[in-house]
């Protein structure tokens, strides 16, 4: 009897801290692909650089140690939000993504929540090193992530209505951008002018371009979270292209490439040339007849645009 009891106890024994670390490491490897980290790097550099260029063009911009800290914080926050999404989307994933780590039991909710606590402490702590206002700004981002989790649990309309869900969830992207701007203003890389705030619209357009591209399909699929279920193929194609145009148009209005010459003019016109990528993406989708909207052109456009914005900031500041 005692042997049987020991066997049962061994089966239900909670994983050791080292086991939990390993399970979380595997979760991160599966659900936090390298492109998330790359995105954190180019997003912070592009936003800070663009805001610096349009708010204080007379001051040369280059990444600083504070910039590196902001990149680390945003990378932490993206992983934190990925863990939030894994838990709030659990019921949906059981049906549509049965191989996700939380669904399969490769990681537990308790382990994810403990890791979220560590990430939150790290993000707030690193931000407080820069300035108290930076710590408050990133705390707001983390809190909004938890708010979204609660809202989706309480509201079926937010949980199932993809457009309402976008309206409710998108502000977290604005809050992340706000953190970068507030922190960069406090450490001197960016001036507190309206042009810096307006630059956020560039990144809103780029994000929504990718967001619609990855959730568009040719056929209506009831039960799946697709914008094409509501707007149809043509409506989504117009939106995908329109958001890309919005991003480039705002950049052009702020940077005014027509007022520049030489290398600076070339750097400032590159974002406009990059519109060929989404144009090609929509032409390919509408002509191919394939069921899925191609995501690669949208990814290529976002990363190419961010790299162009970084180059633009480095070249065009005097």
Place of tokens 């504070």: 66
The structural architecture, per CATH, of the domain 199-318 is: Up-down Bundle (1.20)
Where does residue 117 rank: exposed (0-12), middle (13-18), buried (19+ CB within 10 A)? exposed
pTM (2 d.p.): 0.89
- Domain 17-193 and domain 199-318, same fold? Reply is no
- Alpha helices (H) along the chain: 2-12, 17-31, 34-55, 65-88, 90-96, 101-104, 109-130, 132-154, 156-160, 162-169, 171-187, 194-198, 200-214, 228-255, 262-273, 276-288, 296-316
The angle, 0 to 180 degrees and rounded to 10, between the axes of the packed helices 276-288 and 296-316 is: 170
Domain 17-193: CATH superfamily is: UbiA prenyltransferase (1.10.357.140)
- Within 10 A of 187 (CB to CB), how many other CB atoms are there? 18
Per-residue confidence in pLDDT tens, the chain, 318 aa? 444 444 434 344 667 788 888 889 988 888 888 888 999 999 999 999 999 999 999 899 999 999 999 999 999 999 999 999 888 877 777 887 888 888 888 888 899 999 999 999 999 999 999 989 999 999 999 999 999 989 988 888 888 889 999 999 999 999 999 999 999 999 999 999 999 999 999 999 999 999 999 999 988 888 788 999 999 999 999 999 999 999 999 999 999 999 999 999 999 999 999 999 999 999 989 888 788 899 999 999 999 999 999 999 999 876
For residue 168, how far is the Cα from the chain centroid? 15
Structural domain boundaries of the chain?
Answer: 17-193, 199-318
């Amino acid at each position: 009897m005692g042997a049987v009891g020991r066997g049962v106890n061994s089966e239900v024994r909670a994983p050791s801290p080292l086991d939990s670390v390993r399970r979380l490491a595997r979760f991160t490897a599966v659900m936090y692909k390298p492109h998330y980290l790359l995105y954190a790097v180019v997003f912070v550099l592009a936003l800070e650089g663009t805001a610096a260029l349009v708010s204080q063009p007379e001051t040369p911009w280059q990444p600083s140690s504070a910039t590196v800290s902001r990149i680390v914080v945003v990378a932490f926050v993206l992983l934190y939000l990925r863990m939030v999404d894994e838990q709030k989307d659990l019921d949906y994933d059981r049906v549509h993504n049965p191989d996700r780590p939380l669904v399969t039991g490769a990681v537990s909710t308790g382990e994810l929540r403990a890791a979220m606590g560590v990430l939150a402490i790290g993000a707030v702590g690193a931000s407080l090193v820069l300035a108290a206002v930076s710590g408050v700004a990133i705390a707001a981002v983390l809190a909004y992530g938890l708010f979204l989790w609660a809202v989706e649990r309480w509201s079926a309309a937010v949980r199932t209505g993809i457009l309402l869900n976008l309206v409710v969830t998108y502000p977290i992207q604005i809050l992340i951008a706000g953190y970068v701007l507030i922190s960069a203003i406090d450490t001197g890389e960016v001036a507190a002018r309206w042009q810096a705030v307006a630059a956020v619209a560039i990144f809103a357009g780029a994000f929504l371009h990718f967001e619609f591209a990855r959730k568009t399909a040719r056929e209506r699929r009831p039960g799946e979270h697709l914008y094409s279920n509501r707007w149809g193929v043509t409506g989504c194609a117009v939106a995908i292209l329109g958001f890309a145009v919005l991003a480039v148009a705002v950049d052009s209005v702020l940077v005014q490439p027509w007022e520049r010459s030489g290398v600076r003019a070339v750097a400032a016109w590159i974002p406009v040339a990059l519109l060929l990528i989404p144009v090609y993406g929509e032409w390919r989708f509408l002509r191919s007849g394939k069921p899925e909207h191609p995501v690669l052109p949208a990814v290529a456009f976002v990363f190419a645009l961010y790299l162009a914005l970084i180059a633009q900031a480095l070249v065009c500041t005097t």
